[in-house]
Chain A
Amino acid sequence: MEKQKSIFASVDWLTIAIYIFLLALGWMSICGACYEYGQPTDFLSLASFDTRTGMQLVWICSSVILGLIVMLLDDRLFDTFAYLIYGLLIVLLFITPFLAHDIKGSMSWIKIGSFSFQSAEFAKFATALALAKFMSSYGFKLEGSWKNMAVCIALMLLPMVLIVLQKETGSALVYFSLFLMLYREGMPGSILFTGIAAVAYVVIGLRFADEMVFDGTTSLGLLLVMVMIVVFVVGLIFAYARPSALQAAAVGEARNASQTYRRAMLETIALGLGTMFVFWLIARYLRPFNIGPVYVAVCALIILRLTWIAFTSRIYRYGLIALFAAGSVVVFYSSNYILDHLQDHQRARVQELLGLREDPNGVGYNVIQAKIAIGSGGLEGKGFLKGTQTKLRYVPEQETDFIFCTMGEEQGFIGSAAVLLLFLALLLRLIYLSERQPYAFGRVYGYCVFSIFLFHVLINIGMVLGLMPVIGIPLPFFSYGGSSLWGFTLLLFIFLRIDAGRVRYQR
C-alpha cells in the first residue's frame, strides 16, 4: 500500500494565506481600537500580556496552533465522531446557563480559572458536522422528503433554542444562514425566497414605519413593503410562469400560455409600478396625500387579477404567486399587529433584535459614531494607531462588534475595501472547495462554513455601515476575544482538513 502523501502537499494554501492575512489585519484593528494615547507604540509593548492587544495576540497564536493540530488529525475522525461532537456541544450549551454567571444579562460565559469562554461559539462547527453527517448518509435526498427536511431543521433548531436561553439571540440567528446550504442541497428555492422576503418585510416595514414622506402623510415603511411585494411578484412571474409559457410554445400547443404570461406580466407592471408613478407625481407636484392605503388597494387588485388569470387559464402557478402576494401582505400587517399588542418589555426585546432600538439611551448613537469614524477615514485612512477620533471610545463594543470602524478610520477606503475583498475571496474559495468534494459530507460541511461566514460578514459589517439592524455578532478573525477566534478557526480548518483528505479518493 502506497503511503499517503504529506498533508501539506494537498492542503489548500490559498485559503490559509487569506486566513493569515485576515488575522494580521484583525490584530491591527484591535491595536487601533484598544490603543490609548501616550502608550508606547513598539511591538513589544503592544504584545505585552497585560494589555488587550497582547491578549489578542495570544489568542491569534493559539488559534494558529489549533489549526495546525486539526491538520495533523485524520480527516475520517470528523465523519466518525460527528454526532458525538454534536451531542457533547449540545450538553455543554444546555448546562452553560447553570454554570454561567450573569454578565450584563447574558448567561453564555463559562468560567474556568481565570479564563472565560462562550460555548455558543463552538456549537457552530459541531452543528455543521452533524448536518454533514446526516445529509451524507446513504440514499439521502432533500428534495421531496419532508422527513429529511424536518430532521435537518431540528438539528439546527436545537442549538438555536439553547443559545436563545443563554440570552444570546444574535448568535442564535446565525443558524438561519444554514438554509443557504440546504438550498444548495436541494431545498426548493421558493422556500428560501419566501423566508428572506418575509424577514425583509418585517425588518424594513418596522424600521421605517415611523418615517413619513410626502409632507408627513405616508408611512415610508408601508410604501416600501408594498413596492417590494409588486417587484417580487413581477420577479416570480418571470421566474416561474415564463418557463412554462416557453415550454408550451415550443411544443406548439396552447398559444394561450404565452399570451397569458405576457398579459399577467404587463398588467402587474402597469398596475403596480405605473400607478405608483402616477401617485408619486400627484403627491409630489399637486397635493400630498396618504398613498399607503390606496396602494394597498392596488396590491389587492393585482392579487385578485392573478387569481382570476389562474382560474381562467388553469395555469395555477399564477394562483401560487397570488397566494405569495396575499401572504406577504398578511405577514406585514400581522407583524405590525403583534408588535402593537405585545407587552412593553417584550416589544423592547423584539425591537432590539430587529435593531430598531439598539440603545435605550439614545437611538442611533452608535451607528452615528460608527459612520463618522469610517467616513473620516477617507481614501487612505489616518494610519496605524493614528485614529484621531477619540470618539470611538464612546461606541460600546468597539473592539468586538464595531471593530470594522477602526479599519475604516485608520486604513481608509483602500484598507476596508481590501478587507471586504479578502472576505469575498474566502467565500468564493469556500464555494469552489465545497464543489470539488468527492462526497456529500465534505460538500455539506463546506457550504455550512460558507453560510456561517457569509452571515457574519453580512450582518456585522452591514450593521457598522448602517445598512443592517444592530445585532451583536462578531466579525470573524477581527473581533476581540478568544472564543470566537477559536470557534471560527476550528470551523475553517476542519473543512481544510477534510478537503486535504480528498486526494485519497481521487487516485
Chain B
Amino acid sequence: MANNTLSNRKYILGFSAVLIIVVYIVRLFTLQLMSDDYKQRADSNALMRRIQFPARGAITDRNGKLLVYNQPAYDIMVIMQEQVGIDTLDLCESLGIDIEWYRRRMLEIKDRRRNPGYSPYTQQLFMSQLSIGEFSVFQEKLFHYPGFYIQKRSIRQYTYPYAAHILGDVGEVNPSDIEADDYYRSGDYIGKQGVERSYERQLRGIKGSEILLRDVHGRIKGRYQNGKYDVKPIPGKNLTLSIDLELQKLGERLMQGKLGSIVAIEPSTGEILCMVSSPTFDPRTLVGRQRGKRHKELANDPRKPLLNRSIQGTYPPGSTFKTSQALTFLEEGIITPQTAYPCSHGFHYGRLKVGCHGHPSPLPLVPAIGTSCNGYFCWGLFHMFNNRTKYHSTQEAMTTWKDYMVSMGFGYKLGIDLPYESRGMIPNAEYYDKNYKNSWSGLTVISIAIGQGEVTLTPLQIANLGATIANRGWFITPHIVKEVQDDTLASTYLKRRYTKVSRVHYETVCEGMERAVRGGTCRSAYTPQYVTCGKTGTAQNRGHDHSVFMGFAPRENPKIAIAVYVENGGWGATYGVPIGALMMEQYINGHLSEASEHRAETYANRHVDYSGYLKK
C-alpha cells in the first residue's frame, strides 16, 4: 500500500493539470477577447500562400553555347469554391476549348485519387502552358471569370534542333512522383528524360513562397506583414554539357536516313563529345501544349525515334570486339605478338567453319587486326578455352574471359549520367551450362571471339573500348555533364578505372589498329594530318549486316575516341569508316576541309533502305 507521503504527490500532479489548463484558458482569453486584431484580420482578410517557382537551370554545351533556357508561359488556375456562376460557354470560347473538355477537366480536378492535393479552397491547375498569344486574349476577359487565376510559369526552350535524346524534356509530375518526394505538388514539372531527368535535383532549384492577404472576395490586398514571412525561390543550377555542338550537329546530319548511333568520347576525361541516336527528333516540338500529341506520334513510330540507341540499343559489336580479344589473349599468355595462326579463308575445325576473306596466311597479330582476320581470333579463343594447363575446365577459362570483358566495361551498365542505360550482354559459364546442359566447349561459343553470338554491347560501350585503347588501359566512366554550377561532379566521373590488361599489350593493339587505317580495312579513314587508329566491324544479324567502326585519333595523346553503328549498313567500310573519319576530322581540326565537306554531303544524302525490316 502506498504510504502517505507518496499519496500526497497526487496533489502535485493534480495541481500541475490545473495549472496547465488555467494557463491555456488565460491564453485563449487573450487571443479571443483581449484583442480585436485577429478578429478584424479574419473578418476582412485571409492569408494565401502562393508558391514562387524557381527558374530551372540553363544547359550549355562544352563551349558555352546555350542549348536550353526558360521562356515564360502561363498556367490557368482555378479555385473551385469561387468559380460559381460563370459563363462556361464564354470561357471555353476565349480559351479555345470545347465544353466537353471543360467538363472532363473539372471532374479530373475534383477526383482526389488523381489529384491527391485537391482542396476546393486552393488554386488547382486548370490548363497549363499557354503561350503569350493565347494568354493575352484570355487576360482581357479574366475579370468575367471569378475563381480563375493566372500563374506565370516558365517552359523549356531549345536553341537548336539537336541532341534531343541527351537533353531530354520536362513534363507534369505524376501521382507517384508526388508520393515519392515532398517537393512536388500537383501540376509541378519534373525532368522526364535525358539530363533533365538525371540532374533533376540540381536543375530544379528550391521553391519559394509568398504569403498574401486576400479580402472576402478573394482579391489580393498585399503582402502579409510586408513580406516578413516570404521565402525567395533559389534558382536551379546551370549545367555545362561535355557535348560539342558542332560535332553533334555533323553527326546528326551524317546519320540522316539511317538507323544507328555515333558516340564520341574524350579519352583523357571520359567526357562525351557527341551522342547521336538516329532517327532523332526536334526537341522544340516537345514543348508546351502540343507535347502530348507529338509524344504519342513519336512513340508510335516503328523506327522508335524516342529510343536513345547510344545507351539503350544493344548490338553485336562485330569485329571491333577483336581488339578486346587480342588484349585478353596477350595478357593471359595464350599468344605473343609473334604468334601466327593459319587462315584458310576462315576457321575450320571438324565440321565447324567460320568464314573469312582473302589475305596472306599464316599471319601474326598486327596484320590479323589490320585485315580483321576471323580465323586468327577463333584460333586464339579455341586455344584459350582448351588450355588445360592454365585452366582446369572450360568453365574456368570462360570465367577468366568474362572477368576481362567486365574489366573493360562490358556486360554491366557503365554508369553514364543519363537514365535508362542498358547493360548489354557478356555471357558467363553458368549461362552456357544452362543453355547447353553442361555440354559445351570452346568450339560451341567460338563466335564470341569475333563479337557475334551472345555478345552484345551498347554503342557507348564500343566507344568506351576505343577510349580505353586510346588511354592504353584505363577509362573514366563516360559522362555527359562536364560541370554543375557551384557544385562538383560525382567522384565516379573523376576516377580512372583500370582494365586487367597491361599497357604494353595495348601498344600492340594500337599498332594493329594503325595498320588497319594505313592499309587494312579502314583505308578510307587515312589522313596525312594525324595518325588514326581504327577497327571496322561487320556485324551479322538476321537482315543485312550492320556497319560498325571504332577508332581514335591521334595515336599519341588522343583527343577523340569514337564508335559509329549503322544498322543494316553493310560492310564496316561502307558507312562506319567514312562517317567516323569525318567526325574525327571535324573535332580535331574544328572544321571539315572542302573535299570532306563534299563527302559529308554525299553520306548525309545516302540513305539505307529499311522497308524490309520495319514492318510490324
Please report A residues at the B interface, Cβ cutoff 8 Å: 36-38, 102, 104-105, 180, 183-186, 189, 361-365, 368-369, 371-379, 388-391, 393-394, 408-409, 412-413, 416-417, 420-421, 423-424, 427-428, 431, 434-435, 440, 443, 447, 450, 454, 457-458, 461-462, 465, 467
Knowing that A362-B231, A378-B33, A465-B31 are A-B contacts, what are 6 other residue pairs whose CB atoms are under 8 Å apart, sorted by A's residue number? A180-B13, A361-B49, A365-B211, A372-B42, A394-B122, A424-B17
In terms of DSSP, what is the predominant structure of the interface of chain A?
A: helix
Known: A390-B81, A413-B29, A424-B18. A185 touches B6 (CB 8 A): yes
Contact (Cβ within 8 A) A37 B81: yes
User: Which candidate, B19-27, B136-144, B347-355, is the interface stretch facing chain A?
Assistant: B19-27
Contact between chains at A379 and B10 (CB < 8 Å): no
The 4 A-B pairs of least Cβ separation, nearest first, read A375-B38, A376-B42, A393-B121, A391-B46
Q: How far is the CA of A183 from the CA of B16 in the complex (A)?
A: 13
Which residues on the B side are within 8 Å of A462 (C-beta)? Answer: 24
Q: Output the nearest chain A residue to B46 by Cβ-Cβ distance.
A: A391
Assess the A465–B28 pair: CB atoms within 8 A.
yes
Residues of B within 8 A of A185 (CB): 2, 6
Contacts of A36 in B (CB 8 A): 81, 120
The verdict on A467 contacting B27 (CB below 8 Å), with A183-B9, A363-B229, A428-B17 known, is yes
Instruction: Kindly identify which residue among A184, A417, A440 contacts B9, using a CB–CB cutoff of 8 Å.
Output: A184
What is the distance, in angstroms, from B266's C-beta to the closest C-beta of chain A? 35
Residues of B within 8 A of A183 (CB): 9, 13
Docked-complex contact B41 and A376, CB < 8 angstroms:
yes
What residues of chain A lie closer than 8 Å to B6, measured between beta carbons?
184-186
Chain A residues within an 8 Å CB radius of B24:
420, 461-462, 465, 467
A-B contact pairs, 21 of them (CB 8 A): A362-B230, A368-B229, A369-B47, A371-B31, A371-B38, A373-B42, A374-B31, A374-B38, A378-B32, A379-B33, A388-B43, A389-B46, A391-B42, A393-B121, A394-B121, A408-B28, A412-B32, A417-B29, A421-B25, A454-B17, A457-B20
CB <8 Å contact, B47 and A376: no
Q: Provided the pairs A372-B47, A391-B46, A435-B7 are in contact, do residues A417 and B119 lie with their beta carbons within 8 angstroms?
A: no
CA A189 – CA B21 in complex, angstroms?
A: 22
A389, closest chain B residue (CB): B42
Assess whether B336 is interfacial by the CB under 8 Å rule.
no
Q: Output the least CB separation between B481 and chain A (Å).
A: 24
When the two chains form the complex, which single residue of A362, A377, A391, A454 contacts B209, counting CB atoms closer than 8 Å?
A362
Taking CB atoms, residues of chain A closer than 8 Å to B291 are none
By beta carbon, the residue of chain A nearest B35 is: A375
Q: How many residues of B contact A (CB 8 A)?
A: 48
Name the contact of B20 in the complex, choosing from A105, A373, A393, A458 (C-beta under 8 A): A458
CB distance from A306 to the nearest CB of B (A): 25
B229's contact among A364, A375, A378, A389, by CB below 8 Å, is which? A364
- Any chain A CB within 8 A of the CB of B37? yes
Known interface pairs A104-B182, A362-B49. Does A420 touch B21 (Cβ–Cβ under 8 Å)?
yes
Cβ 8 A contact of B13, one of A371, A373, A431: A431
Q: Is the CB of B209 within 8 A of A361?
A: yes
| Chain A, residue nearest B225 (CB) | A368
Given the complex, which residues of A lie within 8 Å of B211, measured CB to CB? 362, 365
B307 within 8 A of A: no
| A/B pair count, beta carbons within 8 Å | 145
Return the chain A residue nearest B206 by Cβ.
A360
Residues of A contacting B133 in the complex (Cβ-Cβ under 8 angstroms): none
Interchain CB contact (< 8 A) of B28 among A368, A372, A413: A413
Q: Is the CB of B42 within 8 A of A431?
A: no
Please tell me which one of the listed residues B10, B23, B207 contacts residue A361 in the complex, with CB atoms under 8 A apart: B207
Query: Which A residues touch B17, using CB under 8 A?
Result: 424, 427-428, 431, 454
B residues with a Cβ closer than 8 A to A are 2, 6-7, 9-10, 12-14, 16-18, 20-21, 23-25, 27-29, 31-33, 35, 37-39, 41-43, 46-49, 81, 84, 119-122, 179, 182, 207, 209, 211, 216, 229-231
Q: A361-B231, A362-B229, A365-B229 are in contact. Are A420 and B28 (CB under 8 A)?
A: yes
| Chain B residue at minimal CB-CB distance from A143 | B6
Which B residue sits closest to A185, measured CB to CB? B6
Q: Which residue of chain B lies nearest to A142 when distances are taken between CB atoms in the complex?
A: B6
Of all chain A residues, which has the CB nearest B11? Answer: A431
Contact residues in B for A376 (Cβ distance below 8 Å): 38-39, 41-43
Contact of B39 among A184, A363, A375, A457 (CB under 8 A): A375
- A365–B49 CB distance below 8 A: yes
Residues in chain A near residue B229, CB distance under 8 A: 362-365, 368
Contact A391–B32 (Cβ < 8 Å): no
A101 → chain B, closest Cβ, in Å? 9
Is A393 within 8 A of B49, CB to CB? no
Q: Indicate if the CB atoms of B33 and A368 lie closer than 8 Å.
A: no
Our pick among B16, B28, B39 for the contact of A417 (Cβ within 8 Å) is B28
- Residues on the A chain within 8 Å of B18, using CB: 424, 428
Decide if A408 touches B32 in the complex (CB within 8 Å): yes
Alpha-carbon distance A461/B22, docked complex (angstroms): 12
**How many whole Å from B152's CB to the nearest CB in chain A?**
19
Chain B residues near A390 (CB, 8 Å)? Answer: 46, 81, 121
Known: A37-B81, A421-B21. A105 touches B182 (CB 8 A): yes
B180 (CB) vs chain A CBs: closest residue: A102
A461 to B41, CA, bound (A): 22
Q: How far is the CA of A481 from the CA of B381 in the complex (A)?
A: 69
Is B10 a contact partner of A435 (Cβ separation < 8 A)? yes
Cβ distance A443 to chain B, nearest Cβ, rounded Å: 7
In the complex, chain B residues whose CB is within 8 Å of the CB of A458: 20
Taken together as a complex, chains A and B put the C-alpha atoms of A461 and B33 apart, in Å, by 18
- How far is the CB of B151 from the nearest CB of chain A, in Å? 17
Identify the closest chain B residue to A434 (Cβ): B10
- A148 CB to closest chain B CB (Å) equals 15
Distance A295 CA – B18 CA, assembled complex (angstroms): 33
Q: How far is the CB of A142 from chain B (nearest CB, A)?
A: 9
CA–CA, A305 to B565, complex, Å?
Answer: 87
**A423 in complex: contacting residue of B9, B21, B27, CB < 8 Å:** B21
A375 and B12 CA atoms in complex are apart in Å by 32
CA distance A297 to B16 in the complex (A): 33
Across the interface, which residues of A come within 8 angstroms of B38, CB to CB?
A: 371-372, 374-376
Contact yes or no, B47 A375, CB < 8 A:
no
Give every chain A residue within 8 A of B9 (Cβ-Cβ): 183-184, 189
- Residues on the B chain within 8 Å of A409, using CB: 42
A378 to B207, CA, bound (A): 36
Chain B residue contacts of A375, Cβ below 8 A: 31-32, 35, 37-39, 41-42
Are B49 and A431 neighbours in the complex by a CB distance under 8 Å? no
B23, B33, B47, B84: the one within 8 Å of A413 (CB): B33
Q: Which residue of B lies closest to A425 (CB)?
A: B21
CB distance A450 to B41 under 8 Å? Answer: no
The interface residues of chain A lying within 8 Å CB-to-CB of B7 are 435
CA distance A416 to B30 in the complex (A): 13
Q: From A467, which residue of chain B is reached at the shortest CB distance?
A: B27
Chain A residues near B20 (CB-CB < 8 A): 454, 457-458
Please state if B43 and A428 are interface contacts (CB–CB under 8 Å).
no
CB atoms of A420 and B231 under 8 A apart: no
CB-CB under 8 A from B84, the residues of chain A are: 38
Nearest Cβ on chain B to A450's Cβ, whole angstroms: 7
What distance in Å separates the Cβ of A376 from its nearest Cβ neighbour in chain B? 3
- B81: A residues at CB distance < 8 A: 36-38, 390
Chain A: which residue is nearest B32 at the CB level?
A: A413
Residues of B near A389 (CB, < 8 A) are: 42, 46
A393 to B229, CA, bound (A): 19
Residue numbers in B under 8 Å from A373 (CB-CB): 42
Q: Which residue of B lies closest to A381 (CB)?
A: B32
* Alpha-carbon separation in the docked complex, A377 to B9 (Å): 38
Nearest CB in chain A: distance from B439 CB, A:
45
A417 to B29, CA, bound (A): 9
Smallest Cβ distance from A54 to chain B, in angstroms? 15
Q: Give chain B nearest CB distance to A348 CB in angstroms.
A: 12
Contacts of B216 in A (CB 8 A): 388
What separation, in Å, do the CA atoms of A139 and B530 have in the docked complex? Answer: 96
